[in-house]
Amino acid sequence: MTVSGDAAGGTPRRRYAILADGWFANHHAKTAHGLLSYGKDEVVCVIDSTLAGRRARDAVPGLRRDAPIVGALGDALERGPTSIIVGLAPAGGRLPGEWMKVLREAADAGLEVVSGLHQRLGPELPGAKVWDVREPPEDVPLFSGEGFAVKPKVALTVGTNSAIGKMTATLEIERAARERGLDAGFVATGQTGVVISSWGICVDAVVSDFIAGAAERLVLEAARSSPDLILVEGQGSLGHPAYSGVTLGLLHGSCPDCLILCADASDEEILAKVPRPTPEAIIPLYEGVAALVKPAPVVAVSVNTRGLDDEAARTFVERVAATTDLPTADPVRSGAAPILDAVLAAPKTAASRVQ
Amino acid sequence: MTVSGDAAGGTPRRRYAILADGWFANHHAKTAHGLLSYGKDEVVCVIDSTLAGRRARDAVPGLRRDAPIVGALGDALERGPTSIIVGLAPAGGRLPGEWMKVLREAADAGLEVVSGLHQRLGPELPGAKVWDVREPPEDVPLFSGEGFAVKPKVALTVGTNSAIGKMTATLEIERAARERGLDAGFVATGQTGVVISSWGICVDAVVSDFIAGAAERLVLEAARSSPDLILVEGQGSLGHPAYSGVTLGLLHGSCPDCLILCADASDEEILAKVPRPTPEAIIPLYEGVAALVKPAPVVAVSVNTRGLDDEAARTFVERVAATTDLPTADPVRSGAAPILDAVLAAPKTAASRVQ
């Protein structure tokens, strides 16, 4: 992976074929969907033999960009991709065996292989050009506190659960900020975000003593190119036992001035026996643990109302706004302006405080 | 490193020479001090040319075992060690260059080299027998929730800061439990603890997505051999920005039924601009984040009064007991009985709760 901003530095753009065979319409294909909706690089096609001949936006409503779906690698190669990306992010999982064969063929045809899996593909595809997105830089430092002094305001998304739309919310707020003429930067901390922006560190792949140091380094780098506002993509949730360590390392390491809570209307358990906290239950905990190091109030709630009709979505937004007493909006459905306003109104905070 | 309990399995004991040249009396030599006080393996000598001829307990008052201090590797070899251990744990750091030469000579003399540094010594000492204590097992799983169902009660030490004596407190409570005839187990989660017990995982060296899974696996393994009580060594602090991710991953992953807060009388900052929280300020946060997954009340405070005279120590213990309204004791100074009583009185808790 890279932490130097090669997107800004004139590196030729990638032209992606997305490998998601049998999975493209599944929510586990979130790297595929994220790249289509928010990527800066072109997507020439999706490979999914179960959906061949259809269009991406037809198979997955709500995508911001479209692409043809083809049935096999041969069809994809005719469209001139530079890179093939594994469009699946199974939790902790390894790549389906049959996909390796396709990737080997793609590499033999001259394509770069891009993967965000924990499993590294470089060693398994000798001779191929591989971008293992999750491979962290070798020189990630320990947290130093240097991040306390960054000049731009820093906002971080946090969630009532993982996989709740933190990356999307962060990107929508960035877009809204840029539309207002602000020099805002998106800090990618997960595999899809890093692919989208060709920059960042997958903090969940860093050795755990260095999570906070990785987050701090990203914010320090972003401060150089985004003087107005830094928007950090959150990970996991304080309430998800598998990922809460990543969540808190990122929360302390990125030295945010304020937080944006991401929530949805689901009441499914986070994990068997682990209930999903309400926004009003988890907000004081996010603020409490943040304030041990540097105060970072939750200033807005970004809700994900995908799958609800307009009436149900409006009711949900109103309920969350009432129970949290915070500006609340679904940035995908109705724009991120109310959230951005709240972030811009929040003060910079200082590290020290009396307990 | 190993997660199989080779200490129990009849593996020959090690006979350690501790390399701490110029550092033995420094508090950064905590691996050396911990091994001397609590290790099950013999320590034949300490190597520190600045203290040669003295005794370990003379140079570092309070150690539970003694050993001669010698000036050079040659003197150490005469005492018949099987292993040489790097007795220093610099934060995130690498080994002083001149020490590598000594380790190479020790390896050439047939000694095993033991190191708890993040820096792996195996690759740097080709042909040598090296135990890189921080090297995690290759098959650490994601957190699954299986740990919610372990039969023994699980208690975890947490702290107002890192390096405050959590390992020592945990070992003292284990000792008190064994003295009462309980089949209690110590779960080692850091390099010194793993060296002491020849078992465990250094959770701060695990890729961050797998911290909680590593902690859960340790508790599941410990439950097989310690049916009465599992005592988990905590790491870092919820209030230390560099390590809080490790702290929380361990807190959720180990599925504790109760917590023991470790505190000392210092009011030094945790890090520049990061104040040290009081016990009463941080207890609700530990309990709050734990309860998102599984309730785990703080049932006692273990204080570290090293350096205080008896009167000052008693005053401090009384003050903490009053402000927290919890049983409070310094287990090194006066025994862990009050803390153990509180742990034994605490109920097992269930994962699920209504938010």
Distance CA A316, CA A300 (A): 15
Write out chain B residues lying below 8 Å of A289, CB-based. Answer: 238, 244, 285, 289
- Beta carbons within 8 Å of B72's beta carbon, 6+ residues apart: B47, B49, B52
Q: How far is CA A282 from the centre of its chain?
A: 21
Of B209, B55, B214, nearest to A249 by C-alpha is B209
CB A134 within 8 A of CB A114: no
Residue A91: per-residue pLDDT? 59
pLDDT band at B246 (very low <50, low <70, confident <90, very high): very high
CA distances to A33, A42, A55, A332, B69 from A65, rounded to whole Å, are 9, 10, 10, 14, 70
CA torsion through residues B37, B38, B41, B47, sign: negative
d(CA B139, CA A119): 12
- Using an 8 Å CB-CB cutoff, list chain A residues near B203: 208
Q: Write down the pLDDT at residue B7.
A: 40
CA distances from B110 to A48, B81, B124, B130, B180 (A): 58, 10, 16, 11, 41
CA distance B17 to A151: 50
Specify the pLDDT at position A289: 98
Q: Which of A118, A204, A209 sits opposite B243 (nearest CB)?
A: A209
Question: What span, in angstroms and rounded, lies between the C-alpha atoms of A256 and A234?
Answer: 11
Backbone angles phi, psi at B43, to 5 degrees: -115, 115
Q: How many residues does chain A have?
A: 355
Yes or no, beta carbons of B208 and A212 under 8 Å apart: no
Q: Can you state the angle between helices B279-291 and A279-291, rounded to 10 degrees?
A: 140
The residue in chain A having the minimum alpha-carbon distance to the alpha carbon of residue B269 is A352
Chosen for mutation from A120, A162, A292, A352 (greatest number of chain B CBs closer than 10 Å) is A292
Closest CA to B50 of B19, B23, B32, B26: B23
Chain A neighbors of B249, CB-CB under 8 A: 208, 244-246
- Quick count: other Cβ atoms within 10 Å of Cβ B114? 28
CA distance A207 to chain B (A): 4
User: How, if at all, do strands A42-47 and A69-70 pair?
Assistant: parallel
Closest CA to A112 of A95, A96, A137, A133: A133
Residues B226-245: pLDDT tens digits?
999 999 999 999 999 999 99
Mean pLDDT, residues B45-61 taken together: 97
By Cβ distance, the residue of B142, B275, B278 closest to A91 is B142
Which amino acid is present at B297?
Answer: P
Structure tokens at B354: 């209504």
Residues facing B18 on adjacent strands: B46, B85
pLDDT digit string, tens, across residues B74-104: 999 999 999 999 987 665 567 878 899 999 9
The pLDDT assigned to A111 comes to 98
pLDDT at B350 > cutoff 90: no
Q: What is the DSSP code string of A136-171?
A: PPTTPPPP-SGGGG-SSEEEEEEESSSSSSHHHHHH
| ipTM score for this prediction | 0.93
Mean pLDDT, chain B, whole residue set: 93
DSSP state letter for B53: T
Residue labelled with tokens 């992976």 = A1
The CA distance from A353 to the nearest CA of chain B, in Å, is 7
Report the C-alpha dihedral over residues A140, A142, A144, A145, rounded to 10 degrees.
Answer: 90
Return per-residue pLDDT of chain A as tens, 355 residues. Answer: 434 334 344 466 999 999 999 999 998 898 999 999 999 999 999 999 999 999 999 999 989 999 999 999 999 999 999 999 998 766 556 787 889 999 999 999 999 999 998 889 999 999 999 999 999 999 999 999 999 999 999 999 999 999 999 999 999 999 999 999 999 999 999 999 999 999 999 999 999 999 999 999 999 999 999 999 999 999 999 999 999 999 999 999 999 999 999 999 998 999 989 999 999 999 999 999 999 999 999 999 999 999 999 999 999 999 999 999 999 999 999 999 999 999 999 999 988 654 4
Query: A274, B248: Cβ pair inside 8 Å?
Result: no
| B88: phi then psi, degrees, rounded to nearest 5 | -140, 140
Return the residue in B132, B203, B208 with the most chain A beta carbons within 10 A, the one to mutate for interface testing. Answer: B208
* Region for B286 from its dihedrals, namely left if φ exceeds 0, alpha if ψ lies in -120 to 50, beta otherwise: alpha
Per-residue model confidence (pLDDT) at position A224: 96
